[in-house]
Chain A
């Protein structure tokens, strides 16, 4: 059992928790993820590590309440326990040789983008961050991004905060103005990562995307997290849990990944409604 040390609501649908897990805290690096189970009958869900405190032995996770499991997790209070917490899984984000990086986060993906931005900042790289949200109410981690970025642009889809529009707008402007990046790292909804990749393509800047498919064990055993890369005219199957979660954006088949992500939509909606009803009754 793993204790919830701290819990904080970042916005009405996004919660941050610090979990006591010393072994994971000791090892976890930006870009890696954990898998948790809330209770004994729960499903296993992957969440990317949003930060660690090695001295306290805690791991920070940030999650959006989207389904039955995240809803149950959000009902847990400080001092309570979650059943299982395993990691760190996957490969850390590659930082070697990158002197100037553009970090593009979307929605709750910003929670994962933040430790990556912080790591580059710590390593002395120049960090240009763009974070996007649907609207002002969903904005998270602005101050934290400011602290580790040499420049920060906040975008909202409806213009209720920061600049109006998608994250690709400032990216295109910067690239058009001749800004050079060693790497663009983008973390967020698949559709956003796809369009960031398409925007960067004419400029030939490498793009790393962080994939977050459906998975079970997270150690390569089930193959449920597989995705297709188009590499040298060939289709290559990779497992996000052991080969990723970071991949070369130009190789990823986003449309297939989006389709696979919708495999259990009906089931999930049903499970979510049931869970909500349970909490209403309680």
Chain B
């Protein structure tokens, strides 16, 4: 039988249906589709996909197990390298990682590695009721700051080696960006909760409501008997554009908008208010911008724009997310840059309740000029091309800068010019026994690169404490 040249399609909710609910968009492979897709893997000798994976999952091995109908075996292979398979199977940019290296991909479409990973993890979560074996303790204690992807990975890897790990989380729920940032329709919260539970069964303690740098400091953690510390405190403070009108009511950072909807559950009935309906402009072109736009749509917006200053070529979001957003009816205003946010102001009545709410966003059209330092062509304003978008809500999704809370309370912790924690190739900071990884080091990046950093640091911590 000839091999199918294309990946098996991912079953999804129809765009016109999903645009009005928060249920997961992608429904996952059935066992039949997974088997068919697994058969597309050539099990080639040089295994380039493994190199493409930031945590080096033995991809051909897990796919071989699927071919043999041994789904639990496949799960065992993945979890040797990854603590969060159900998460990665959903949010990893496989198209630029493992799948971009796939031998099948040279002539045809690569094997759907991410979809198979998700299938295996979901199969396990649904069918396996057996708690994971708690490893023999080695007596060492490690503190992990932050329960996002890097922290959970680091904690999981160390726990499997017998370390007693405590994860400190500033918010009231563990998961970091996986719960406050990534929306339910892309990553159901029950899946994150399940992954956190698995870690707890391995013996990891999770202490919520502890802000390191405030409630406790890094030095106090050492005093409490932790022998090594991993900082995975995440991206931090949202950036704004510094244009007029950003303090008007109806202007959100993507962090705030998504946190209100996801973590604070404004997407279902809760006490948390959020602006719903009307027209919404999301400024930015990354995955966070796509998440914010699609969340606004689901909350009931009539019209949602993505406003991005470069062209479709430069959009940093995953192609799949952009595709989904377009299918759902989100309008892309590319090569556009906001210059001012306009607000209602009734000069005759300072008490008019509409005063101070957003009414529109002034933009200017852009064209691409010479490449800049990032190698991307620099957008330049087209003079006289100003226009106004009529919107009620503006969401700024233009990145974050590192949070100063830990740096400012930890003597001798070196940070770079942008405020990111400086680490060596092992994730070691300028302080002995203190490691760091994820967005706290790199600035806003992907879930899987944060996981990779957590993994590297866990190995280095193990080496450090074994010496």
Contact = CB atoms under 8 A, between A and B. Distances in A.
B240 interface: yes
A139 B356 CA distance: 33
Contacts of B259: 216-217, 221-222
B172 A216 contact: no
Given A43-B272, A84-B208, A86-B170, A223 B247 contact: no
A219 B208 contact: no
A271 B210 CA distance: 29
Interface in B229-272: 234, 236-238, 240, 242, 246-247, 249-250, 252-253, 255-256, 259-260, 264-265, 270-272
A25 to B, nearest CB: 11
A268 B355 contact: no
Given A41-B265, A42-B271, A217-B171, A222 B405 contact: no
B125 to A, nearest CB: 23
Given A37-B172, A216-B256, A216-B259, A223 B273 contact: no
A255 B108 CA distance: 61
Given A262-B353, A263-B249, A221 B215 contact: no
Contacts of A268: 273
B211 interface: yes
A16 B413 CA distance: 40
Contacts of A88: 214-215
A42 B234 CA distance: 24
A23 B210 contact: yes
Interface residues of A, number: 43
Contact of B247 (A86, A256, A265): A256
B28 to A, nearest CB: 28
Interface in A214-269: 216-224, 226-228, 237, 239, 242, 253, 256, 259-260, 262-265, 267-268
Interface in B416-448: none
B97 interface: no
A34 B246 CA distance: 27
Interface residues of B, number: 39
Interface in A6-46: 23-24, 27, 37, 41-44
Contacts of B240: 223, 226, 237
A96 B168 CA distance: 32
B208 A220 contact: no
Contacts of B250: 263
Q: Looking at B171, B270, B355, B404, which has the most chain A CB atoms within 10 Å of its CB? A: B171
Contacts of A85: 209
B19 to A, nearest CB: 24
B215 A23 contact: yes
Nearest to B250: A263
Interface of B: 170-172, 180, 208-211, 214-216, 234, 236-238, 240, 242, 246-247, 249-250, 252-253, 255-256, 259-260, 264-265, 270-273, 353, 355-356, 403-405
Given A226-B247, A237-B247, 7 more contacts: A43-B271, A219-B211, A219-B214, A220-B236, A223-B237, A223-B253, A265-B353
Interface of A: 23-24, 27, 37, 41-44, 68-69, 83-89, 216-224, 226-228, 237, 239, 242, 253, 256, 259-260, 262-265, 267-268, 271
